[in-house]
Amino acid sequence: MNTKPCPFKNSTLILSIILGMLLFVTQNALAQQSVKLTLKLGGNVDLLCTYIKPGKFMMGSPENDTLADKIERPQHEVAIDRAFYMGIYPITIKQFKVFVQETGYRTVAETDGIGGHGYSEANRKFEGLFPQYNWQHPGWEQSDEHPVVNISWIDANKFCEWASARTGKKISLPTEEEWEYACRAGTTTLFFTGDDPNSLKGYANISDDALRDKLQQEQKPDRTFPFNDGFPFTSPVGSFKPNPWGLYDMTGNVWQICDGTLPGSTPNQVAGHVAKGGSYNAYPEFARSAVRGRIKASSKYGYFGFRVVVK
Ligand SMILES: [Ca+2]
């Protein structure tokens, strides 16, 4: 019996393995190219985005969600027909600075004579609206990597107009549907980390022991998360782990202002706009994926920022 290996069979096997490896490497390289988008805002400042594929999801809160507000119901299916890119992080101080430096833009909080909202170290409380508070001065130390706050729907849209002209891309706020679809990232639980609020530990900057320590007795929230996430106020973007689709700070850090108006409301109606995601001041109910914060076009608070989409 001839036991000598067949050289032709072996070389075919080796060739197949090599071709398979080449195909794997090529596919991965193409996938990496297609899922990321980096836009230049100027001044060596980039806007990093990731690809969000089309799909369907259940939006809003189910009847058995005891933390839900009635405006989040009924839960209903939504189809996202077109792919888009979404900012991996909320817009940062550094990115907003480029916009301001190039345009001279001044925010609503800086120009309406009323001012913004912030934290008083002396009084150990959040306060406002006062003229001393705006995106540059919320009452705590910010680095360039912190998400910009004290931003209104009006200001966020002005940034998007500028960024669109700057990059030649259509940059806007996400619709509420796009935001919730991207936040859930295929999950159907209350939080993208599960149904247990404590599952957000390590994934979100929310109301915690660090914040409680900064507040006077009257302002201490009674429903904080039972741990210290290290940040009483905003945290540099990307300080926590991302959601399943690679988006950071979708929950917590800052509420994210969305495009459009609530169904049945008009643009000038009080609280006709929506913000999502909760903030560093969010109790568990305000950190759910379905949460629906209502704001005016001119509302500005130290809890509110935004992220953008590119279409
Ligand atoms: Ca926190």
149: domain CATH number is 3.90.1580.10
229/250 Cα distance (integer angstroms): 16
Q: Name the residue among 229, 189, 239 with its Cα closest to residue 209.
A: 229
**What is the distance of C-alpha 208 from the center of its chain?**
19
Q: What is the pLDDT of residue 31?
A: 44
User: What is the Å distance from ligand 1's center to 291 Cα?
Assistant: 18
| Residue showing tokens 């169904």 | 263
User: What is the Å distance from ligand 1's center to 301 Cα?
Assistant: 17
Say yes or no to pLDDT of 259 above 70.
yes
User: What is the Å distance from ligand 1's center to 149 Cα?
Assistant: 15
> Do the domain assignments include residue 9?
no
**What's the pLDDT tens digit per position in 75-97?**
999 999 999 999 999 999 999 99
Domain extent for 140: 24-310
Q: What is the pLDDT of residue 59?
A: 98
| Residue showing tokens 């550094």 | 94
| Residue showing tokens 């910010």 | 142
User: What is the Å distance from ligand 1's center to 249 Cα?
Assistant: 12
> Do the domain assignments include residue 15?
no
Q: Name the residue among 304, 274, 49 with its Cα closest to residue 176.
A: 274
**What's the pLDDT tens digit per position in 163-222?**
999 999 999 999 999 999 999 999 999 999 999 999 999 999 999 999 999 999 999 988
Say yes or no to pLDDT of 21 above 70.
no
User: What is the Å distance from ligand 1's center to 281 Cα?
Assistant: 7
Say yes or no to pLDDT of 103 above 90.
yes
Q: What is the pLDDT of residue 264?
A: 73
User: What is the Å distance from ligand 1's center to 256 Cα?
Assistant: 16
**DSSP state letters, 105-143:** ---HHHHSSS-EEEEETTTTEEEEEETT-BTTBSSS---
User: What is the Å distance from ligand 1's center to 15 Cα?
Assistant: 54
Ion ligand 1 — residues with CB < 5 Å: 205, 208, 229, 231, 280
> Do the domain assignments include residue 237?
yes
**What's the pLDDT tens digit per position in 32-45?**
445 999 999 999 99
Q: Which residues on adjacent β-strands are paired with residue 119?
A: 126
User: What is the Å distance from ligand 1's center to 253 Cα?
Assistant: 7
129/286 Cα distance (integer angstroms): 22
C-beta separation of 43 from 100 below 8 A: no
**What's the pLDDT tens digit per position in 127-140?**
999 999 999 999 99
User: What is the Å distance from ligand 1's center to 168 Cα?
Assistant: 36
User: What is the Å distance from ligand 1's center to 264 Cα?
Assistant: 34
User: What is the Å distance from ligand 1's center to 23 Cα?
Assistant: 44
> Do the domain assignments include residue 116?
yes
> Do the domain assignments include residue 205?
yes
- Mean pLDDT on 251-267: 87
Q: How many domains does the chain have?
A: 1
Q: Name the residue among 114, 43, 117 with its Cα closest to residue 305.
A: 117
Q: Which element (helix H / strand E) includes 12?
A: helix 7-35
Q: What is the pLDDT of residue 33?
A: 44
Q: Per-residue confidence at 263, pLDDT binned at 50, 70, 90?
A: confident
User: What is the Å distance from ligand 1's center to 208 Cα?
Assistant: 5
User: What is the Å distance from ligand 1's center to 118 Cα?
Assistant: 16
> Do the domain assignments include residue 178?
yes
User: What is the Å distance from ligand 1's center to 205 Cα?
Assistant: 4
> Do the domain assignments include residue 5?
no
> Do the domain assignments include residue 193?
yes
Say yes or no to pLDDT of 278 above 80.
yes
